[in-house]
């Protein structure tokens, strides 16, 4: 059974940076696409970024040029580097794994989900 554990969230000022990590266990990490989603209070969960097994990446327009998703196969870990953070980026960020997926934004495609880590952008 796959498990995903996120870390790296916290409180940061507008314009600041954070790097989220998601460590995977119990799955053959290299054949899973990985995605990052976020959910703010009172809002629907939304796709942030995804990376396929081959390394192709996709981003929501709201984070393009500010966020970067990457993966380290040797460490079974996917990262989300977040720069130029804005108050509207405040949310619980969760990672997800999709067997043989493309890293798309379709949440129903993902097989495993982490518990999430809180990111708060505020002065």
Read off the pLDDT of residues 77-118 as tens digits, 9 standing for 90 and up. Answer: 999 999 999 999 999 999 999 998 888 878 888 999 999 999
What pLDDT is recorded for position 105? 79
Read off the pLDDT of residues 58-77 as tens digits, 9 standing for 90 and up. Answer: 999 999 999 999 999 999 99
Find the mean pLDDT for residues 41-46.
Answer: 94
β-bridge pairing 10-12 and 117-121: parallel
Q: Residue 29 and residue 99: Cα distance in Å, rounded?
A: 9
Q: Is 83 left (phi over 0), alpha (psi -120 to 50) or beta?
A: beta
Structure tokens at 36: 């990052």
Q: Residue 30 and residue 26: Cα distance in Å, rounded?
A: 12
* CA distance to 28, 59, 70, 74, 112, per residue, from 117 (Å): 23, 19, 18, 23, 16
CB 6 within 8 A of CB 117: yes
């Amino acid at each position: 059974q796959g498990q995903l554990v996120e870390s790296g969230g916290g409180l940061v000022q507008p314009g600041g940076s954070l790097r989220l990590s998601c460590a995977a266990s119990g799955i053959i990490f290299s054949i899973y696409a990985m995605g990052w989603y976020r959910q703010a209070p009172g809002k629907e969960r939304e796709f942030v970024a995804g990376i396929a097994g081959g390394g192709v990446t996709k981003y929501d327009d709201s984070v393009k040029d500010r966020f970067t998703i990457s993966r380290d196969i040797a460490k079974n870990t996917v990262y989300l580097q977040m720069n130029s953070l804005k108050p509207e980026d405040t949310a619980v960020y969760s990672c997800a794994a999709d067997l043989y997926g493309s890293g798309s934004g379709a949440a129903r495609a993902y097989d495993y989900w982490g518990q999430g880590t809180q990111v708060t952008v505020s002065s």
